[in-house]
Structures are given as C-alpha cells and as structure tokens.
A and B are shown apart, each in its own frame.
Chain A
Amino acid sequence: MSEQKPTGGRTREEMARRLAQDIPDGAYVNLGIGIPELVAKFVPVGREFIYHTENGLLGMGPSPEPGTGDPELINAGKRQVTAIPGAAFFHHADSFAMIRGGHLDLCVLGALQVSQNGDLANWSTGATDAIPAVGGAMDLVAGVKSIYVITQHCTRNGEPKLVELCTFPLTGRGVVHRIYTDLAVIQITPAGFQVLELSPGVDFNQVQERTGAPLSPMADPPGVPKMT
C-alpha cells in the first residue's frame, strides 16, 4: 500500500535530521536500534550531544573506519563503534543507574505502536511463536527524562502505528513525549495526539487519515529546544 504514501513525507534520514534539531545542546542521549541510530548523523551546528550506549559507554562516537574496529567496543545493537575523547567505560549496573536514575536527558526509540496517552509497545507483537526479547527498552522508558519515538507513521501494511490503545504488549505506560514520523511531529498531551509540525507537502487530513486516534492541530510552533 506504499502508493498511498503522501509524496511529501520525510525519508528516514530526514526524520532523523528533524528530530536532531529538537535536541538541546549538551544533552545526554541514548539512541535505540534502527532508525534512532541515524539521529547521530545530524548534530546541528553549534551543538554537542553526548551519546550513551547502555552496554557501558558514555561518549560513543561514529562507526570505526573499515578495518579499525574492535569487537570489544560495540553499541547496544552490537555494532562496532568508537569512543570520543572524554568518553568513559563502566559496568552495566552503573550504566542502568544512569538510565533508571534519571540522568539521561533523552532516549530515541523505535515503535510498533504508540497510544494517544503515550503508551509504547516496541518489543513484542505478542506472536506466540516468537521468542520474546526485551533488552533495555523497559529500563529506558522508565528512567530517561524524555522519550522520543521515531517511526514510520504506518506499518508496511498501511496499519496506523499511532493508536487509541496499544494492542501489542507494552514497553511502558504513558512514557512517550513526542513522535517523529515520515508525516509529522506529534506531541503526546493530556488531550492526546497533537500535531506540532507537518512534513513538507503533507496536510493535516492526510495525517489524520493514517492515524488510529484523533489528532489536535498545531497550536504554536515549537520554539528553540532548551534543556529541562
């Protein structure tokens, strides 16, 4: 059903670039596996973010040049990475103390479903033949100050991922603050989904049609991000 996709929607890289614009200077950020990893490619000019990977590194740098990686310097997705000057290594209890203790400013995660009250489902479709695997997702949503989801607005089958109620098993209840999709930037508010911004060439009705719950239109344009 990809032919239904509005022509003006953002690509994955554009989604990542857009999200990066909303990260305040100096933020400590954890990036989930998949589209979230792309965010690291788009640090706005004049800002510096420090990336945390929950397997024990603060100050994660980009992928190593081919042939220079080390199988013992990896990220949470088990891909080889580098460490920036000023990085620190630590064990898992300290790493999750950073997460659970509220020391990280932002976590960017993928999603299977997000409900209008901010419930997130991103670890299991509940299929009985699948092997359940959760990793650090439940710790991240329980502990990090802000949770941003980055995801295609709909599944490959055209089903909405933004829904009234999640039907997949939850990662956490009421944990998502904001959603960046190919079509829009959407805030979770006490009144449900609110559009903060439409992707270029996309109109409100197109987004509403592809969303499983009511959307409120944009109120004020979002300002410059600041550390909360």
Chain B
Amino acid sequence: MIEFYNVSADIDGRNILRDISFRIVQGEFAYITGPSGAGKSTVLRLIYMDLIPNEGMVIIDKYSSAKIKNKEIPILRRRLGVIFQDFKLLPDRNVYDNVAFALRVTGVKGAAVKRKVLRVLAEVNLGHKRNRFPVELSGGEQQRVAIARAIVNNPFIVLADEPSGNLDEQASFEILNILEKINRQGTAVLMATHDNTILKRYPHRVIKIKEGLLNK
C-alpha cells in the first residue's frame, strides 16, 4: 500500500535521503524513529507527495510518484490523515472550522460535517474549545486539533509527525489509544516519534533512519 523503492530525495539540491526502501502494508502500525534531522519528516513529505523523489519511486495506494499528475495530488491527500510536526493550522479559522475544512475539501456537506467534527473534537477532548482560534490555544491543544483534523476523514493511513511532542504523558497515552483504536478499525498508522516511553508501552514495528539512510 505504501512502498518506497530505492528512494533518494534532494531538497534545493541538498541530498536528504538516500536509497530508502521499505513497505507498509494495509492496516499496519509502524514507528519511524531516528535522531533530529535524520529525515523522518522528509519521508512523510514523500508520502503525501509534497516532495517527489529524485531517484527511485514512491507508491501510495494506486498512485506512483513517477506518474502522478498535479491534479491527482489533492485527491491522494484527502485519503491520508497527516499530523504535521508544526501543526499547520489555519490561523484565521477557529478549531471547528479547521477540522471541518479537511472534510469540506472532500465535498462533505451540512449536518454530516457538524456531526463528524464534533465527534473527533470530543475524542481529543477539545469539544469545549471549538470556537477558539489557534493563537488562543496552548501548544498541546493545537496539537490535538491537528490530530482531530487528521482523523476526521477516515483516512486509509494516518501519518503522525511527533503527535505527542507537546503533550504530557497522560495525553500522549490517550492519543496513542486513539491511534491504536483507529488502527484496529483497519487504518494504517505511520508515526514519527522520539519518545522511548511510547515505543516501549505501545510496541510496534520500528523503522529507523539515520542521516538519511535506513538503519536496519
């Protein structure tokens, strides 16, 4: 479902990743770890096609990085749920609209939007702050909005870049419980993390990256 074939990626002429090959099958739960600057976020960018590899090929669902058209990229992204490391919330919309936006781009309308958004906001414990704007939230609260937005769409895979970086242990565990729950319902999860506590408590397959190379 997600396949990397000897992928090398440059950004602005700088080589970031070299000869990466791995595969994530449907419904799998995998961690991606490695030191700061290793290339974890870059791997995720390759998956949501914000970056096209210089060499090799990335295959996501039925799309290949070699053949995908610009027009198809939004279609692909709607089927992924991405939790960005820097949240990437829309600063000019409140919590509700930020989450609803991800639904509306897929064409969902009216009452269905409301129902789904309120359900995921409740799941991340932010129902009572749905009218706040991102600047009016704490770091951890912003992170939870980002998580809500990523899962509201019933994606076939959730890409989570440090989803617990700004959360205390208790909240991290809750997020991991949510991710495991949706994973049990068939959604794959690929999560970049540094947190050893989580790795130990929620053991899954680990993909290690170091200086742009896969570390088997």
Do A and B come together as binding partners? Answer: no
Residues of A that sit less than 8 Å from B by CB: none
Residues of B that sit less than 8 Å from A by CB: none
